Amino acid sequence: MRDIMGMMGKVKEMQAKMEKMQAEIAELQAEGKSGGGLVTVILNGKGEMQSLKIDPSLFKEDDVEILEDLIVAAHKDAKDKAEAAAAEKTKALTAGLPIPPGFKMPF
């Protein structure tokens, strides 16, 4: 019976740590760049775009496709960085737990 109570305490502790980690991840900001810094995207930890900066030299009618590609590339760069930061925070929290490879947290 004491083992169950101890386990329940650990579950509550883990839940509190998970909630704190999710809040920290949501507040993360990741910056992605493309075109040598001509396009910059900033995403939060939830993957929502917070900022988009485009160098004025890219505003030419015949360069629309290039600009579109650079925006997509900058977004991917920022998303990859945000996911890596979130994975690092999750890794610290779940150290020692028997979690299968490739399992993504938070759920």
* Residues 45/82, Cβ–Cβ less than 8 Å: yes
Q: What is the C-alpha separation between 63 and 19, in angstroms, rounded?
A: 45
Domain residue extents for the chain = 1-94
Q: What whole-number distance in Å separates Cα of residue 20 and Cα of residue 66?
A: 40
Calculate ∠ Cα 96-101-107, nearest 5°.
85
pTM of the shown model: 0.66
Instruction: Kindly state the average pLDDT of the residues 32-45.
Output: 93
Structure confidence at residue 16 (pLDDT): 85
**Mean pLDDT, the chain, as a whole number?**
83
Residues 1-94: name the CATH superfamily: Nucleoid-associated protein YbaB-like domain (3.30.1310.10)
Give me the pLDDT at residue 34, please: 94
- pLDDT above 60 for 9: yes
